[in-house]
Amino acid sequence: MDRPIKRRDFLNGVAVAIGAPLLGGHLAFAQQSPSYYPPTLTGMRGTHPGSYDTAHSLRDHTFWKNHTDKPADTGERYDLVIVGGGISGLSAAYFYRKIAGDSARILILDILDDFGGHAKRNEFDVNGRKLLGYGGTYAIESPSPYSPIAKSVIADLGIDVTADARVRDTKLYPSLGMGPGVFFDKATFGADLLLPDPKPEKDADFGDPGTSETHWKAFHEQAPMPAQAKLDIQRIYEGVKDYMPGLSPAEKKARLARMTYAKYLTDIAGADPAVIKYFQTRPHAYFGVGIDAVSAQDAWGFGLPGFRGLDLGTEPGPGISHDSVQSDEAEKYWFHFPDGNASIARLLVRKLLPAAIPGNSVEDVVTARADYARLDESSSNIRIRLNSTVARVQHLGDVDTAKEVEVAYIKDGKLQSVRASRCILACWHTMIPYLTNEISDRQRKALASAAKVPIVYTNVVLKNWTAFQKAGVNSVYAPGSYFEAMQLDLAVSMGDYKCPRTPEEPIVVHLMKTPCHPGLPARDQHLAVRRDLYGTTFETFERNIRDQMGRALSSGDFDPARDIAAITVNRWPHGYAYEYNSLFDPFWLEGGEQPCVIARQPFGRVAIANADAAAYSYTDAAIDEAYRAVDDLLGISRG
């Protein structure tokens, strides 16, 4: 890609949807306005500008210095107030109403300008053609089987995961001569080069792509890496050698749980150290860190190569991550909506507030236009109030005997309050210590330890994808680049939504970045990069998108200035729930109480949900923890 990127090529952080009005990265006008429609916003989304200022002032202890007046009581009284309108908060409302009945009055408050939390929908209009993308939660997928509770919700929403085989065309890209590629970038590997990936990761999207002698040949002849490292990479993938002879499987797993995968590759499997940069970002999508901070046992469980000769059996050893224990049953429970699990959030909202999401089927929810004005109507028993940051949750009286909880929140710059008989905190756990003084230091510390994993999901709309086809790739692993992966949207058509099928049509490309600080313990990596991520401008993302796509797809004549139609950067500084790691969390390996169990204890009339409560970053955890929180309040399991 020789053409220099010019200033005027940039979209400048403003939405550019061909044939659609220009809008900013967040909505300044009221939820009740007919023009209020956050899914079509482009620019910086996810944790969008303006959404986190109040939360950060609580963290910095400046909020209450600037808000010395009593919150203005709106006069509203609820049975339940839920803090957080992600899948957990919405599920909590669903369960509570199921038990308490339709007359239950429930208010859901969320910081963001859209509901769904991480389950975020991005919509684009390209010359009248609607394209959808997932700005967060990608699919119904979980290494562990969904619980009966979570499955019952999915079934009640009308989702049949076996329909995946009918709605998703896994043959489209291969039929066009496209497959997974790997991009070596100049800064990391000494030269820019796109090659077919000689051994792409097995994934749920396309199954096991197998291996090809031609691809290995091209890899050995052309990949800009030392010859020994290339031989070692093929040996790691295909060799069947026991690198830990004389140890039982249990002894091997115990050792693997205590060393990084990077160390395993070089010190145990004897690979050239140059292989590390090739594998470094392979586990990013699952663990949010690279192979310097993922244990070798997790790498084995997760299917990374190098263990074929070790005869480790199938049983995971102690200290393996949830993510590494993929059961056959769980593997089959997989479904991708064109907007990811935002469709689950929308189906939950439809259950709670049918008028807000027109239609009545799983197919029609895909294209239904949500009516945001219907979310927060005084006539409704259930209300969802967006752009509302909760600043305090406090019992009115003694925690153990009080009959009411006051929830104070900022909306439109105004500090106001509502009262409720009960409250569920379905927000991020690190936020909770700033909302209440009614918990012990032990619980506070446990909540604060749930360091979320920063992650960025970017959707780039292309006017066509002929460059991808010419380059022969539909997905690219880019171990040294700014974005570690990019992928053409999955070919899923549902109801009136028809995915692009010919390279001349516009399409959404998904780019993923998991910012890390290799060398530090996992939690410290997340903390170290979070602040940087908040400070990274849209222009920086855009520059990197243009640069990386231009270089990676140069063999397909990709021209960012000509081919890119719109960009939405979904920035999640507080992304995946932190999952325990045998390298850094001794209790995970050796036993002992897990912080998430201490963190999620109810106090008085307040219960705690969110995926953080399970230390498990999946949709089913958000649903299960919502159920448990409702149970904590209503004692369903106690009858």
Compare residues 157 and 259 and give the one whose CB is closer to ligand FAD.
Answer: 157
CB 488, CB 475: distance < 8 Å: yes
Provide CB contacts within 8 A for 501, sequence distance 6+: 169, 172, 491
Query: CB 412 → ligand FAD: shortest distance, Å?
Result: 14
Query: CB 231 → ligand FAD: shortest distance, Å?
Result: 35
The answer to whether residue 417 forms part of the interface with ligand FAD (CB under 6 A) is no
The answer to whether residue 490 forms part of the interface with ligand FAD (CB under 6 A) is no
Q: Report the C-alpha gap between 120 and 117 in whole angstroms.
A: 6
Residue 525 is encoded by which pair of tokens?
């990596």
Compare residues 278 and 286 and give the one whose CB is closer to ligand FAD.
Answer: 286
What binding mask, one character per residue, do residues 179-218 give for ligand FAD by CB under 6 A, x or -?
----------------------------------------
Q: Is 53 left (phi over 0), alpha (psi -120 to 50) or beta?
A: alpha
Interface positions, 326-345, toward ligand FAD (CB under 6 A): none
Q: Which of 257, 564, 621, 630 binds ligand FAD (CB under 6 A)?
A: 621
Compare residues 293 and 455 and give the one whose CB is closer to ligand FAD.
Answer: 455
Q: Which of 343, 459, 514, 619 binds ligand FAD (CB under 6 A)?
A: 619
DSSP one-letter string for 276-328: HHHHTTTTHHHHSS-TTSSBHHHHHHHT-SS-TTS---SS--TT--GGG---H
Q: Report the C-alpha gap between 144 and 373 in whole angstroms.
A: 38
Compare residues 37 and 237 and give the one whose CB is closer to ligand FAD.
Answer: 37
Binding span for ligand FAD by CB under 6 A among 135-143, 259-267, 297-305, 439-447: 135-143
The answer to whether residue 117 forms part of the interface with ligand FAD (CB under 6 A) is yes
Compare residues 36 and 428 and give the one whose CB is closer to ligand FAD.
Answer: 428
CB 492, CB 337: distance < 8 Å: yes
Compare residues 257 and 611 and give the one whose CB is closer to ligand FAD.
Answer: 611
The answer to whether residue 86 forms part of the interface with ligand FAD (CB under 6 A) is yes
The answer to whether residue 618 forms part of the interface with ligand FAD (CB under 6 A) is yes
The answer to whether residue 394 forms part of the interface with ligand FAD (CB under 6 A) is no
Compare residues 184 and 434 and give the one whose CB is closer to ligand FAD.
Answer: 434
Angle at 411 between CA 406 and CA 417, to 5 degrees: 15
Query: CB 568 → ligand FAD: shortest distance, Å?
Result: 13
Q: Which of 11, 107, 132, 139 binds ligand FAD (CB under 6 A)?
A: 139
CB 284, CB 294: distance < 8 Å: no
3-state percent helix, strand, coil for the chain, nearest multiple of 5:
35, 20, 45
Q: Report the C-alpha gap between 336 and 325 in whole angstroms.
A: 21
Q: Report the C-alpha gap between 72 and 93 in whole angstroms.
A: 25
DSSP assigned state of 266: I
The answer to whether residue 617 forms part of the interface with ligand FAD (CB under 6 A) is yes
- Map tokens 């999207």 to a residue: 205
Residue 106 is encoded by which pair of tokens?
């429930």
What binding mask, one character per residue, do residues 540-579 give for ligand FAD by CB under 6 A, x or -?
--------------------------------x--xxx--
H-helix or E-strand containing 83? strand 72-83
Of 489, 630, 639, the residue nearest 89 (C-alpha) = 630
Binding span for ligand FAD by CB under 6 A among 174-182, 213-221, 427-435, 536-544: 427-435
Binding span for ligand FAD by CB under 6 A among 33-41, 131-139, 219-227, 486-494: 131-139
Residues in touch with ligand FAD (CB under 6 A): 55, 83-89, 109-112, 117-119, 136-139, 141-142, 389-390, 426-428, 431, 455, 457, 572, 575-577, 610-611, 617-619, 621-622
